[in-house]
Amino acid sequence: MAELDGFEQGFLPGRHLIDAYGNGGFRFGEMSHRGSILALPSGVRAWAVTEGRAIDRTALRPVQAESAEIELLLVGTGLDIVPLPPDLRAWLKDNRIGLDVMQTGAAARTYNILVAENRKVAAALIAVA
């Protein structure tokens, strides 16, 4: 499996299940990526966030850009659940995006289930070791 093959610009178009996670990254779409990812309706993109406290409006702008296609955002905050601030929750609600925050592994598994059900879901997943 080639690291970043077809992912040179940090984006892989299309919906992809998360095949594996851990060791600081993810496998999806027959490739791997070291670091965090955003799995959006338009595709999977590299995400510079490395800890839950760093999640803010700027980090979630790509989610907002696709809000018409997203009903639920799953946020995987690593090994520990890190609550998002009330103002960020309100901002997502204003964009008509539901939110569920959980550990990264649970978020990746839930994302796969909801994608298989053809739901309007996105995931913001922080890489774990």
The domain segmentation of the chain, as residue ranges, is 11-125
- Mean residue pLDDT of the chain comes to 94
We find that the CATH architecture of domain 11-125 is 3-Layer(aba) Sandwich (3.40)
pLDDT at 71: 98
Sign of CA dihedral 47, 49, 54, 55: positive
Query: Rounded to the nearest 5 degrees, what angle is found at the Cα of 110, between the Cα atoms of 105 and 115?
Result: 130
H or E element, residue 90: helix 86-94
**Closest-CA residue to 114 (of 81, 60, 72):** 72
Output the pTM of the full model: 0.93
Residue whose structure tokens are 């993810």: 26
Strands 36-40 and 121-125: antiparallel
